Structure 1
Amino acid sequence: MINYKHQTNQLKLSKVTKKTLNCRGKLVDLTIPAVMGILNITPDSFFSGSRIATAQAVETARKMLADGATFLDIGGYSTRPGAAEVSAGEESDRVVPVIDAILKTFPDALISVDTFRASVARQAIDAGACLINDVSGGTLDPAMFETVASLLNVPYVLMHMRGTPQTMQSLATYDHIVTEVIDELASQLAALRTSGVHDVIIDPGFGFAKTPAQNFHLLNKLDAFDFFEEPVLVGISRKTTIWKTLGITANEALNGTTVLNTVALLKGASILRVHDVREAVEAVKLTQHVTFF
């Protein structure tokens, strides 16, 4: 296992996390953390408020961009525990028309495709998306890394997950969760580097093969992921960890989401992936005024 604690301390003395992404020729500055708005083109995502029909997508994108979103993350496959399987063809049929429609209205929008399938990722990039967000970190499609490497200036979100969306919750067993998640991500990152992929965003995978207690522990130790010297994305918006801990529902979990997003920002997150853009942007703006000595 990687002795990340010692190495992270050494890295902090001489190196800093990368703060830019090249999104198909457009340089995105992450010196101030960015917000990624979620558009789920699915009928069964865990948060009902995020289920967007194709006809609604453009107006939802309009609001998110007006509220300050840097990225729009479009997904056509629900990854909530127990979600139904969706074919690659159906997934691409959901996301590609939405990407087309949004870019016709907002040609400068930076669109991320939320998929673990290489074929869907390529079709989305061909339609104008500029970033790939893979919840499996390359573990569910052996063609993914090669596909990303073949695409010019397309950053890749490398997320930690074990198993599949259908089996992941049975695999949340760790002796030392922070070290093991970093080890497993490091192995995949090495494979990405070998493939020639350079712009990578690290996502610890909150809620994916992790219990609420494990999610809180990962969040508390989020700065350990500075080990990678890559931007860190946090996606904890309205997740079970929040609403079960508070004894509420996902629909009532906005305030809790803002609290944990603020913690993530103070611990170094570069991107927040959220259902509620305006509130996340406000958290970013306010935390920019907080300085620790």
Structure 2
Amino acid sequence: MKLCKLNANSDVAALFHTLGVTREGSTILKQKAHHNLIYIKDLKTPAANILKQDALSIGADLAVPKDTITCKTALVDAILIANDKQLKELARKEKAQPFGLKEVALKLNELCVTCKNDFEIMGVINTNEDSFFQGSRFSGEAALKHIETMIGEGASIIDLGGVSSRPGSLSVSEMEELARVKPIIDLIYEHKLFEKARFSLDSYSPLCLEYALQRGFSIVNDITALANDDVARVAAKYDATVILMHMQGEPLSMQQEPQYDNVLIEVDAFFEERIAKAKSFGIFKIVLDVGIGFGKNLEHNLTLLKHHEHFLHFGYPLLFGASRKSMIDKIIPTPISERLAGTLALHLKAYEHGATILRVHDVKEHLQALSVLRALNQTTF
């Protein structure tokens, strides 16, 4: 007899198939193989005691502060440890419990979501001269050629920008932004490149977005997440997909000592609010972006990456964009031109944690890295 310890991230469905487990059995076993750690903030102390006992009764557990049982404080934070099957069972149990546990039950049901294995690469191109990565700046026919190259290398989405949103950058007028992006939009439309890939405009200008959406673009990449109602109206008018990105502050000052009580909970609350706003305007094609580097320090960025899968509970695709960003430099001092390796490390981890759209400057390298990672994940032994 021999025993082999398998990686926790193994494709259990493939393993069960190899063993000859029935499809019905595999469905049941997969729920037991995937474990979850769920942080619960401001849980009423009586609720924590009930949830602890209910969790233990089904083989799960709840980590709580030592004085929880005596109810010395009104509220406590806790960490639930449970597999997918246990989450569903707890959600059923807590529906009948007091002290706010009915709301916990609803949230647990939302969190019973698994990560997909597909991915899309969004290639970045900028028309402005002050974007932080010089290698993304193109104009005229050179821009058209670069777009065609990115599509050929595997990009299914192209994200065009005309205004820098790097830390410390200043906004420009709508007319100035339109003057920058209009020639590229016209070339894309003239050559019907929207038949080969989807096009996104990185903008929060209603004027520029309307111009792009009239000419084959289908995605609004709004770093302000529909702060402007006119952007919402334009997106709804053209039935566009909207990327809602979280940003604390604005580009000019966002990196001046950003602070959060709990970055996961605050970003989650922001998404909840902006999703509701999007729906109120008739926008239902939504992508979520945690906004790496937009009003966040290194610890905030790493926390959002490590727990990125949490945001799958909203039921929308997750976009992640850390391409060549300064968080790499803060981990290991590296000039922008040499940050591809760090970018790949961050983006591969993001993919493993639920991201299905990666916004990148280097398409070919990402396609290769992601293809190899997916092959590794799909290998049974």
TM-score by length of 1: 0.88
2:306 to 220, 225, 234: 220
> Could you list the per-position Cα deviations for residues 154-182 of structure 1 after superposition, in whole angstroms to 9, with x for gaps in the alignment?
10100001222112223621010011011
Q: How does 1:219-258 map to 2 (within 5 A)?
A: 219-258=305-344
Aligned residues: 277
C-alpha deviation, 1:197, in angstroms: 0.5
Structure 2 residue aligned with 1:150: 237
Q: How does 1:1-293 map to 2 (within 5 A)?
A: 9-13=108-112, 32-105=118-191, 106-108=193-195, 109-139=197-227, 141-152=228-239, 154-170=240-256, 172-291=258-377
Q: Which has the higher contact order (CA 8 A, sep 6+)?
A: 1
State the one-letter code of the partner of 1:135.
I
State the one-letter code of the partner of 2:233.
E
Q: Distance in 2 between matches of 1:283 and 1:132?
A: 27
Q: Distance in 1 between matches of 2:186 and 2:375?
A: 38
Q: Distance in 1 between matches of 2:181 and 2:361?
A: 17
Higher mean alpha-carbon deviation, 263-272 vs 84-93, is at 84-93
Higher mean alpha-carbon deviation, 203-212 vs 90-99, is at 90-99
Q: Is the 8 A contact 2:324 2:342 kept in 1?
A: yes
C-alpha deviation, 1:95, in angstroms: 1.3
User: Alpha carbons of 1:107 and 1:182: their partners in 2 closer, same or farther (altered >3 Å)?
Assistant: closer
State the one-letter code of the partner of 2:236.
A
SS of 1:91 mapped into structure 2: helix
Give the unaligned 5+ runs of structure 1. Answer: 20-30
C-alpha deviation, 1:107, in angstroms: 4.4
User: Alpha carbons of 1:171 and 1:185: their partners in 2 closer, same or farther (altered >3 Å)?
Assistant: farther
Q: Is the 8 A contact 1:112 1:131 kept in 2?
A: yes
C-alpha deviation, 1:258, in angstroms: 0.5
Q: Which entry has the higher C-alpha Rg, 1 or 2?
A: 2
User: Alpha carbons of 1:142 and 1:169: their partners in 2 closer, same or farther (altered >3 Å)?
Assistant: farther
Give the unaligned 5+ runs of structure 2. Answer: 1-38, 42-79, 81-103
> Could you list the per-position Cα deviations for residues 35-74 of structure 1 after superposition, in whole angstroms to 9, with x for gaps in the alignment?
0000011100111111112331111111101100000100
Q: Distance in 1 between matches of 2:211 and 2:257?
A: 31
TM-score by length of 2: 0.69
Q: Is the 8 A contact 1:113 1:129 kept in 2?
A: yes
SS of 1:169 mapped into structure 2: coil
User: Alpha carbons of 1:8 and 1:41: their partners in 2 closer, same or farther (altered >3 Å)?
Assistant: farther
